[in-house]
Amino acid sequence: MNSFFKKNGPLISTYFIIAIVFWLIFLIVIPQLYMLDLSFRPNLPPLLRGGSDDVHTLVHYKHFIFGSESSEDAYNYVDIGVFVNTIFTAILVTIINLCFCYPIAFYMAKVANPNAARLLIVSLIIPFWINELLRSFALRILFAGEGVINNILIGTGLIDSGINFIAMDIALYTGLTYAYILLMIFPLYNALESLDTNQLEAAKDLGSSTFRTHWRIVIPHAKAGIASGCTMVFMLTAGALATPVVLSSPNTYWFTQLIYQWFNMNDNWSRGAAYSILLLSASVIFVLLMMRLFKVKIGEIVR
């Protein structure tokens, strides 16, 4: 500590310490811990808080699993269903994104000449500077009942009456895949760019097929990039709110929408907090799984 002050001088040291303590403690750690604590407390009116009723309880987590006491079902099928659906869809979206982006990233990193690759990168970034809500809105125009896709399909005579893409959740899944695709491309591109082209040529000279080269050389090299891209896409998809708000059908819920409902419409903050903790734990488990699966450190995932 002393050497820290010596190294930076008193003025700068104070600035460093204030900035870091403010960020790490007040913005990151304390809010999360307080939310964790709140999720174990009953939903009380403000006057009763801190009173004798304000004890730790598992009531909100019980509600997630068993449902409200008045319901007849043994388990809370609705909420669990939404949760499982959210996680499962997020995983699916991640896999689809990975498959979509791998060829593009490989092309940009290894096949294209640098100028073309640069142009491609810049043009890829542009759509992602535009608000997520507006991008979802663009897809909504496409998928609407009398939208462009339906009109084209009817016009060419492929179908007779319009398909309701939004009710079938096709619009939602497309929107989620569309929303975070850039966060898959860039980690992959960064990882692949560092691959020595000579290795590819050597593999080819030794008679390896294209598929085998990718499987044995390119993919192992891009491991960290794949882990990083998958984690980011999964996290953002599972935690997405803007896209489901715009594109989900009236009878499909995304887990974040459920949280939003408990929080803002039903005014049950502690239950909202409990559901948030569930989402957070799912995300943390996924990150740990990716770290274990790809044998990478957390520092390699976020760069």
Stretch of residues binding other proteins (CB under 8 A), selected from 73-81, 139-147, 158-166, 215-223: 139-147
Give the per-residue contact string, 27-66, with other proteins (x = CB under 8 A; - = no): xxxxxx-xx--x-------x--x-----------------
Output the smallest distance, CB 142 to other proteins, in A.
Answer: 6
SS3 72: coil
Question: Is 136:242 a contact under the CB 8 Å cutoff?
Answer: yes
**Using rule CB under 8 A, residue 276 touches other proteins:** yes
Q: Quick check: 130 and 138 in contact, CB under 8 A?
A: no
- CB contact at 8 A, 269 and 43: yes
Confirm or reject binding of residue 239 to other proteins (CB under 8 A).
yes
CB 182, CB 128: distance < 8 Å: yes
Verify binding: residue 79, other proteins, rule CB under 8 A. no
240 binds other proteins (CB under 8 A): yes
Handedness of CA 141, 144, 149, 154 (dihedral sign): negative
> If we measure between CA atoms, which residue out of 272, 293, 170, 273 comes closest to residue 227?
293
Amino acid present at 166? I
CB closer to other proteins, 71 vs 127: 127
Cβ proximity to other proteins: between 222 and 232 the closer is: 232
Phi-psi region of 207 (alpha: psi -120 to 50; beta: other; left: phi over 0): left
Q: Closest separation between CB of residue 292 and other proteins, Å? A: 16
> What is the distance of C-alpha 200 from the center of its chain?
33
Nearer to other proteins, 66 or 91 (CB): 91
The answer to whether 141 and 115 are in contact (CB under 8 A) is: no
| Cβ proximity to other proteins, 92 vs 144, nearer residue | 144
With respect to other proteins, which residue has the nearer C-beta, 66 or 208?
Answer: 208
State in angstroms the smallest separation of the CB of 22 from other proteins: 7
Is the Cβ of residue 130 or residue 168 nearer to other proteins in the bound state? 130
Note whether 178 binds other proteins by CB under 8 A. yes
Smallest separation, CB 66 to other proteins (Å): 23
Residue 269 in the binding site for other proteins (CB under 8 A): yes
H/E segment holding residue 197 = helix 197-205
Residue type, 263: F
Q: How big is the site for other proteins, counted in residues (CB under 8 A)?
A: 87
